[in-house]
Amino acid sequence: MSLDTVAIAQLTPEVQQPFAQLGLQPDEYARIKEILGRRPTSSELAMYSVMWSEHCSYKSSKVHLKQFGDKAPKSDALLVGIGENAGVVDVGQGYAVTFKIESHNHPSFVEPYQGAATGIGGIVRDILTMGARPIAVMDPLRFGPADASDTRRVLPGIVAGIGGYGNCLGLPNIGGEIVFDKTYAGNPLVNALCVGVMKHSDIKLAKAAGAGNLVVLFGAKTGGDGIGGVSVLASETFGTGGSTKRPSVQVGDPFVEKILIECSLEIFAEDLVVGIQDLGGAGLSCATSELASGGSGGMKVALDKVPLRDPSLSPEEILMSESQERMCAIVEPHKLARFLEICEKWDVTVTAIGEVTDGERLEITWNGEIIVDVPPRTVAHEGPVYNRPLAQPTYINEVNSQKVRVPIPSSANEIKSVVLKLASSPNLADKSWVTSQYDKYVQGNTIQSQPDDSGMVRIDEKTHLGIAISTDANANWSYLNPYEGAKLALAEAARNIATAGARPLAVTNCLNFGSPEDSGVMWQFAESVRGLADGCLEMGLPITGGNVSFYNQTGDTAILPTPVIGVLGVIQDVRTRTPMSFDVAGLNLYLLGDTYEDLAGSEWAFMHDERVGQSPIADLAREMRLIELLLEGHNEELFVAAHDLSQGGLSAGLTEMVLRYSTGATIVLSNVGIDLISESPGRVIIAIKVEKSDALNALAAKHSITLTKLGTTGGDSLVINDCVISLQELSTAHTSTFPKLFG
């Protein structure tokens, strides 16, 4: 194909362009022509098509996401908010922490290992570009039924990819989730979270200010990886047809990324960059247009200077390539020499490809000919915005009006059977088969990781300041009531870090949904966003950023609405953290919170294929009182252990606690059936020394939280009323599921 330049485009308005194949709508194409006053060149079309894709432009979600700003609670902790690569939070002692989740769902379905690996790579670079040293990753995952053949294909590949890339980078994997549901068959969710730490003064932003400053590309060479990945892959539903649209897969190289991290941090430390951006989805198109519009707007780039792995790439392909491990920096000319020196030291390929101008246009040339001449804001930020129709789907009233019908255990045998079934169900079973493939302790700062309630890492080795993170989503509740579901997930994530004694500080999210062109899905999305925004406002937790992944569906079947919420908190001294379980006998066990007949959306209902009823209503005021109680109890060293109750209710919570350190418990329950399987939110099991009972009673009364004595610790069985389950039997049930399924 011959080169399509701006000059040619002006002379040949009649040329037919494949905008539809690139994922653009006719009116979007018309708008591009209107912006430019001519037809776009093929390179411009490539840029607009990737940047205006759902994945990059948030065109369907923008109108809703606005609420995160509008309803933002006042917070002194937030140093950098939504809009940058990742938000930054003040955690005290001069430290700032940045964290973010992103989805890599579709690439991970196509090529599980590389899809998941590059998902980790991408989010790590996002954190790096803020100026932070990445210190840990987490990954919430969703798969089709555990025994489905496609799950057996994608799960081992995804897990190996996360482990392979993360372990090579030397980043501990401190948690996540694995949930199975038939709606994720053919559309697994791979969300990756990364957290990084820096000093306040080290924060870097994505902007290209100062005419004459240089645009410098560094990192891996550009190849044909994932071309069109953004527009064709992430924004269209998989057909049943198969391979015709399959783009070339991005392959990650964690060792190059590791070098890129060290090289970038050295460059940051010497203050050699004005602005920086990583190359992720939409590659150079995204980096150049976002950097330019972050500054005054003017930038000139000579695309032919981009170092190529495959010399046959056309300019359009170079602009769209999603080759991994690349970064783009804005560097003042007098600092370039030092910049190049550092890159040479680390053996990182580096090229100045352009400069910032005082104009307002992004101009890209190919061997001297102008192939792109656009106002960068129209590419990066002023894409189409859709107020898509939304309507409450008919299933909502139908399922909400029905009652969950499941067997309720009462006899000793029934209790035993329920506890063992829950312990071994794939969603609740021991996940060591997966997490043992991840390096959880590298760097030596990991305090907590799976199966603890949250991941916790130390960030200062002298003061023992630490941070804790938990990610949660209960898609079953979100399906029944997306508004409450989002609030409940937020509350759960916050609770999960408070049990250890960390104070919740900030929120990130990854919103995984079906097609936004389906009004029912759009309603689920809008309700989830509204719920999350209201919840964050009420709990006083700012949202620092997030990610939206639409088009998660196979044919007409959308996935369950899956808003994954991540909450980050801070703990002053990690040595004081409250563990999730106990290893001594003779402690008293208590339940904090109220248990109602909340069976809708529960694991027990899920196991009986009962996807009906009404989700619990989130009582965030009570959740906040519970969190305050937990933090106060932690400060007073009241608790020996604290463990959040969520999926699987008290049955799963007790199972996890007694198996953690192989110390049994004897429990007496008055309403044993419901008590065991209900998943009422806002509940925590705590273990205390007997002599602390009065103090605990006083604390619970002070925060108006219901306190119920459950029993005592000790022995080698879990005893519930007259039902005795040996820890060995319970452990076998809990730990054999994954090895049996995935070998």
Partner 1 sequence: MAIIVVDVMLKPEILDPQGNAVASALPRLGFTFARSVRQGKRFEIEVEGEPTPDQFAEVEKAAEVLLSNPVIETYAVRVEK
Of the candidates 292, 334, 90, the residue with the CA atom closest to the CA atom of residue 206: 292
Segment contacting partner 1 by CB under 8 A, of 108-116, 287-295, 365-373, 394-402: 108-116
CB of 289 to partner 1, least distance (A): 25
Q: Parallel, antiparallel, or unpaired for β 717-720 and 723-726?
A: antiparallel
* Closer of 210 and 315 to partner 1 (Cβ): 315
Residues 343-402 that bind partner 1 (CB under 8 A): 347
CB of 348 to partner 1, least distance (A): 12
- Judged by CB under 8 A, which of 253, 452, 610, 675 binds partner 1? 253
CB of 317 to partner 1, least distance (A): 10
* Closer of 14 and 347 to partner 1 (Cβ): 347
> In the stretch 632-671, what mask flags binding to partner 1 with x, by CB under 8 A?
----------------------------------------
* Closer of 241 and 368 to partner 1 (Cβ): 241
CB of 364 to partner 1, least distance (A): 23
- Are 268 and 88 within 8 A, CB to CB? no
> Does position 249 bind partner 1 by CB under 8 A?
yes
CB of 558 to partner 1, least distance (A): 25
- Are 289 and 362 within 8 A, CB to CB? yes
> In the stretch 439-458, what mask flags binding to partner 1 with x, by CB under 8 A?
--------------------
CB of 42 to partner 1, least distance (A): 20
Segment contacting partner 1 by CB under 8 A, of 61-69, 241-249, 702-710, 726-734: 241-249
| Beta strands per DSSP E along 234-336 | 275-278, 299-302, 326-331
* Closer of 317 and 623 to partner 1 (Cβ): 317
Burial of 108 (0-12, 13-18, 19+ CB in 10 A): buried
Q: Mention every residue, 6+ apart, whose C-beta is less than 8 A from residue 312.
A: none
CB of 10 to partner 1, least distance (A): 33
Residues recorded for the chain = 743
* Closer of 278 and 623 to partner 1 (Cβ): 278
> Does position 309 bind partner 1 by CB under 8 A?
yes
> Does position 224 bind partner 1 by CB under 8 A?
yes
- Judged by CB under 8 A, which of 60, 67, 285, 324 binds partner 1? 324
> Does position 255 bind partner 1 by CB under 8 A?
yes
Catalytic residue from among 64, 104, 106, 703: 104
> Does position 322 bind partner 1 by CB under 8 A?
no
Q: Tokens at residue 472, please?
A: 């949660």
CB of 254 to partner 1, least distance (A): 8
CB of 105 to partner 1, least distance (A): 16
Catalytic residue from among 55, 643, 703, 734: 55
- Are 212 and 299 within 8 A, CB to CB? no
Three-state DSSP class for 444? coil
> Does position 150 bind partner 1 by CB under 8 A?
no
Q: In what order do the strands lie in the sheet with 173-180?
A: 78-80, 87-92, 95-103, 189-199, 133-143, 173-180
* Closer of 278 and 538 to partner 1 (Cβ): 278
Angle at 679 between CA 673 and CA 682, to 5 degrees: 125
CB of 183 to partner 1, least distance (A): 24
> Does position 278 bind partner 1 by CB under 8 A?
no
Q: How far apart are CA 145 and CA 160, in angstroms?
A: 19
Q: DSSP secondary structure string, 589-615?
A: EEEES------TT-HHHHHTT---S-P
Binding residues for partner 1, how many (CB under 8 A)?
Answer: 21
- Judged by CB under 8 A, which of 84, 90, 139, 225 binds partner 1? 225
Three-state DSSP class for 217? strand
Burial of 715 (0-12, 13-18, 19+ CB in 10 A): middle
Q: Parallel, antiparallel, or unpaired for β 717-720 and 665-667?
A: parallel
Segment contacting partner 1 by CB under 8 A, of 251-259, 284-292, 357-365, 701-709: 251-259
Q: In what order do the strands lie in the sheet with 362-366?
A: 275-278, 326-331, 214-219, 350-356, 299-302, 362-366, 369-374
How many CB atoms sit inside 10 A of residue 253's CB? Answer: 18
> Does position 108 bind partner 1 by CB under 8 A?
no
Residues 511-570 that bind partner 1 (CB under 8 A): none
Q: Mention every residue, 6+ apart, whose C-beta is less than 8 A from residue 592.
A: 626, 629, 630, 683, 684, 685, 686, 700, 705, 706, 707
* Closer of 153 and 199 to partner 1 (Cβ): 153
> Does position 211 bind partner 1 by CB under 8 A?
no
Q: Tokens at residue 138, please?
A: 């987490």
Segment contacting partner 1 by CB under 8 A, of 218-226, 284-292, 675-683, 729-737: 218-226
Three-state DSSP class for 431? coil
- Judged by CB under 8 A, which of 6, 78, 220, 234 binds partner 1? 220
Q: How far apart are CA 665 and CA 657, in angstroms?
A: 9
Segment contacting partner 1 by CB under 8 A, of 200-208, 245-253, 503-511, 683-691: 245-253
Q: How far apart are CA 110 and CA 114, in angstroms?
A: 9
Give 389's strand partners: none
Q: DSSP secondary structure string, 119-154?
A: HHHHHHHHHHHTTPEEEEEEEEEEES-TTSHHHHHH
CB of 253 to partner 1, least distance (A): 4
> Does position 110 bind partner 1 by CB under 8 A?
yes
> Does position 246 bind partner 1 by CB under 8 A?
yes
* Closer of 44 and 111 to partner 1 (Cβ): 111
- Are 106 and 191 within 8 A, CB to CB? no
* Closer of 246 and 403 to partner 1 (Cβ): 246
Segment contacting partner 1 by CB under 8 A, of 139-147, 244-252, 422-430, 497-505: 244-252
CB of 153 to partner 1, least distance (A): 11
* b/e sequence 525-540, b meaning 16+ C-beta within 10 Å: bbbbbbbbbbbbbbbe
Of the candidates 582, 566, 572, the residue with the CA atom closest to the CA atom of residue 447: 572
Segment contacting partner 1 by CB under 8 A, of 107-115, 394-402, 619-627, 639-647: 107-115
Indicate if 608 belongs to the active site.
Answer: no
Q: In what order do the strands lie in the sheet with 466-472?
A: 446-448, 455-458, 466-472, 562-571, 503-512, 543-549
> Does position 323 bind partner 1 by CB under 8 A?
yes
> Does position 308 bind partner 1 by CB under 8 A?
no
Of the candidates 292, 411, 415, 426, the residue with the CA atom closest to the CA atom of residue 353: 292
Segment contacting partner 1 by CB under 8 A, of 248-256, 298-306, 592-600, 720-728: 248-256
> Does position 114 bind partner 1 by CB under 8 A?
yes
* Closer of 224 and 601 to partner 1 (Cβ): 224
Q: How far apart are CA 454 and CA 496, in angstroms?
A: 6
Indicate if 64 belongs to the active site.
Answer: no
The distance between the two most distant Cα atoms of the chain, rounded to a whole number of Å, is 88
Phi/psi of residue 208, nearest 5 degrees: -120, 85
Segment contacting partner 1 by CB under 8 A, of 253-261, 288-296, 334-342, 522-530: 253-261
Give me the active site residues, please: 55, 104
Binding site for partner 1 (CB under 8 A): 110-111, 114, 220, 223-225, 246, 248-253, 255-256, 309-310, 323-324, 347
